[in-house]
Amino acid sequence: MVCLAPFTPDEFITWYRHLGRLRLFWAKPVVELFPLYRLTEGCVTKARWFSDKPRLEEAYIIVLRHAKKIDFLSTLRGIKILITPNEISKELYQLKGGLYIYSTSRPCATGVYLEKPPEGHREPDPDHIVLSSGSDLRYLLYLNRWNFNIDYLWLQSLESLDDAIESAICEARRHGGRFVTVATSEGHLDTIEFNLYKPDHSYHIYKLAF
């Protein structure tokens, strides 16, 4: 029942489970993920996250195509994560992130595979495909081979953003992926303006304050 375009329900579940390894405020390691109900403008899914606390964390993931009125969400008790194309007032949220989705049907440019990143960059995980621009090192990225999310990205300058994303698109397409995604959070890729390379879908993500 997940209604986050352009994902199918199964695609979303696989994508979200692998995204949890990043431990963003809106995506953490998942114990359970199940749909609750559909809304006129979206849907609500409940997630149970692993936690360092004695009890699991529970969160409601709310997708709304239009978020003009969200006060009705106050009836949900617990963590509320809102995913919407719309911006909302600052007093309504505690944290903000973003999601950018690029179709692999777009033009792409092959990157250079690296077995290990240059010195000074974090170590990739075994599930990462490491791509760069080559010896000039204009960009470096780690693409998750299971959900095709760009988990790590370094740019020499914003002018290299197009080439970086297009190399990820080529690689995802080669592995049968329909989309490349970039998930941001406060402190994670939030200083890069991904709209400069226009995504096919983009969303604001909020941890609501009520």
Q: Which two tokens stand for residue 100?
A: 């950018």
pTM for this entry: 0.95
Q: Select from 140, 143, 153 the least CA-distant residue to 194.
A: 153
Alpha helical stretches, state H, the chain: 9-19, 161-174
Q: What is the mean pLDDT of each successive set of 10 residues along the chain, which is 210 residues long?
A: 85 96 97 91 94 88 93 93 97 98 96 96 97 97 98 98 98 98 97 97 98
The predicted structure's pLDDT at residue 40: 85
Spell out the domain ranges in the chain.
9-96, 102-202
> What is the three-class DSSP state of 56?
coil
Contact by Cβ (8 Å): 184, 202? no
pLDDT score for 117 = 96
